[in-house]
A and B are shown apart, each in its own frame.
Chain A
């Protein structure tokens, strides 16, 4: 092997730039094309990580880098890999990171959901302090479509269109074993708050209906959207607190509509992320013992061994998608010239984990709609 390497080195010395053929116009030379479309993950650091945006970047080579919508529409592809009620994975091909990232950011921070914002505590003798309890309640995902509700602004009265009220009343009797309070103890109050406002109590003694903390004009369960599917926490088994004998929690929780950028409890996704498609290239034939070595280097089994007959073996790249970019395969001396790890810049493996308010595919469409609305807002403001 070493002898071969030296021979090659000598060949390289004779190389002259004038022997190269002319660069064909209208087409990028392969090394530039590689820089433009791939991130090269070298042993020390990744290079060519940026995307080339400027329309005239390749003007001297007669290559137009400007945005052509028809070109985009022709090349853009989506392929769904996995889709369940709570998460999905799909490939988005032919789009720039700037836009893929905008979708991701909107999914996390700008899609509304309903979450508990106000907790009125009537009694709490548990070991969990009021403010911690309120925070825990806020983080419980509620299974309801936020599009059916309105935002509540500062001087709005809580009504049936912007507030969901839950009641929680658990008491652990003296002498009985400890109990665990789970999220299924949160009972929906379709008629709104049942707590009577202290300050008004005296004044409205004569009034027929005492004033509570919400002013619902009708019961939420008469609305067609909720008549047959009562509002409840998405998962019934989230632990809220534990009660010892004699302890009690009595409270009312008011959920309102909000966005993840205000507080993470309103984020509709557990997380949403993307990664670029890995591409593993064998730069030369890797055979026999080296092939075995390569196969055992990779912790996620990217490589396979192909039998060539006569006891000869060759390494092949079988599962590049599984590559985690740990760079183990190029860490050792000499290996960087055999294996190259790339990432495809315009191929995104997008994963969305929903917290349960909306299915993941609906979340993504809503996110794209929000970006459209943002553009529209700028256009109308400028005209």
Chain B
């Protein structure tokens, strides 16, 4: 849900239900790093309502588009994190398998020499 003025769409408050600091703080991070943003912040009006308000003010672009872009950026970052993480886990598993094999072979070597 968007609350803004009818004439100026460069400043608006977005009220997201069923969200909390998890998304709002992450989006605030990406929003703040967008050069088109002059101000952004978020608040949770009441802790027992699952709702968060995100305020976006821009240098002129529609706030809605800027917020969408911020979410898009966050999504791409997540995707990159996921692929990077999966790769690191795979590498770790592979290198561990190699290590385990080496230890095994060393063990058998020493047994043979004994």
Q: A-side interface residues toward B, CB under 8 Å?
A: 53-56, 65-67, 69, 72-73, 76-80, 83, 90, 92, 95-96, 98-99, 101-102, 105-106, 109-110, 361, 364-365, 368-369, 371-372, 374-376, 378-379, 381-383
With A55-B33, A65-B33: A379-B93 Cβ-Cβ less than 8 Å? no
Sample of 7 A–B contacts (CB below 8 Å): A76-B84, A80-B88, A99-B81, A102-B22, A102-B26, A105-B21, A379-B71
Given contacts A80-B92, A379-B72, A383-B68, contact A368 B81 (CB under 8 A): yes
Nearest residue, chain A, Cβ from B71:
A375
Question: Does B35 sit at the interface, judged by CB under 8 A?
Answer: yes
Q: Would A110 and B22 be within 8 Å (CB), given that A55-B35, A375-B78 are in contact?
A: yes
CB neighbours of A66 from chain B (8 A): 33-35
Interfacial chain A residues near B77, Cβ < 8 Å = 69, 72, 95, 99
- Give chain B's interface secondary structure class: helix
A372 touching B75, Cβ below 8 Å = yes
Does any Cβ of A come within 8 Å of B82's Cβ?
yes
Q: Chain B: which residue is nearest A101 at the CB level?
A: B25
B-side interface size class: 35 or more
Whether B16 is near chain A, meaning CB under 8 Å from some CB there, is yes
Residue numbers in B under 8 Å from A376 (CB-CB): 71, 75
- Give the residues in chain B near A105, CB-CB below 8 Å: 20-22
Inter-chain CA distance A366–B13, complex, in Å, is: 30
Interface residue ranges, B against A (CB under 8 Å): 2, 14, 16, 19-23, 25-30, 32-35, 37, 64, 67-68, 71-82, 84-89, 91-93, 96
Of chain A, the residue at the smallest CB distance from B88 is A78
* Complex contact B74–A371 (CB within 8 A): yes
Tell me the bound Cα distance from A150 to B20 in angstroms: 24
Chain B nearest CB, measured from A259 CB (Å): 11
The distance in angstroms between the C-alpha atoms of A105 and B67, with both chains bound, is 22
Determine whether the beta carbon of B73 is less than 8 Å from that of A67.
yes
Q: In the complex the two chains form, what is the Cα distance from A364 to B81 in whole Å?
A: 10
Closest CB in chain A relative to B76 CB, distance in Å: 6
CB distance from B88 to the nearest CB of A (A): 4
Chain A hits for B32, CB < 8 A? 53-55
CA A51 to CA B80, docked complex, whole Å:
21
Q: Whole-angstrom distance from the CB of A337 to the nearest CB of chain B?
A: 35
In the assembled complex, the Cα of A361 lies from the Cα of B82 at a distance in Å of 11
A375 touches which of B20, B34, B75, B87 (Cβ 8 Å): B75
Instruction: Verify B82–A368 contact, CB threshold 8 A.
Output: yes
Pairs A-B, 7 closest by C-beta atoms: A67-B33, A98-B29, A53-B32, A80-B92, A78-B88, A375-B75, A375-B71
